[in-house]
Amino acid sequence: MDDIIKQITPETEKSDASTQLLEGQKAEPAGPPKNQLRRRVEARIAELIAELERLGDDPAKHRQIRAIHIALKGVHDSMSQDSASVGRMEAAQMSRWLDSTRYLGGGSS
C-alpha cells in the first residue's frame, strides 16, 4: 500500500534552501513591480504639480504650498534618472514618499 501511495503522490519537499524561510523569519509582503511603482510616483508628482497650480499664490495656503514644494524636491533628489533600473533602496524610498504624500494637496494616492 505504501508503494502505491508513493507512486501516486509526488515529492513535496523542496531542497532549495533559498526558497525556505529561516525559523522566526517573516516573508516580505509582495509589493508592486518597480516600474509600476515608478509610474505611481510620476502620477503623484503630476497630481501635486496640478495642486500647486490650483493653489496659486494664495497666502492662506502658504503652509500647504511649502509642504508640496518640499515633497517634490525630495522625490526629485532621491529618484534616479534611469527608469529602467530601480534599485531596492530607491523602490523603498518611492514607497515611503508615496505614503508620506498621501494627504498632501487633497490627493489620495
Positive or negative CA dihedral for 67, 68, 74, 77?
negative
Coil, strand or helix at 77: helix
Rounded-to-integer distance, Cα 49 and Cα 17, Å: 47
Chain-wide mean pLDDT for the chain? 76
Q: What is the pLDDT of residues 88-99, one digit of tens each?
A: 888 888 899 999
Q: What is the pLDDT of residues 6-42, one digit of tens each?
A: 555 555 444 444 445 556 655 555 555 778 888 899 9
Distance separating the N- and C-terminal Cα atoms of the chain: 58
Average pLDDT over residues 54-81: 88
What cell was used for 61? Answer: 495656503
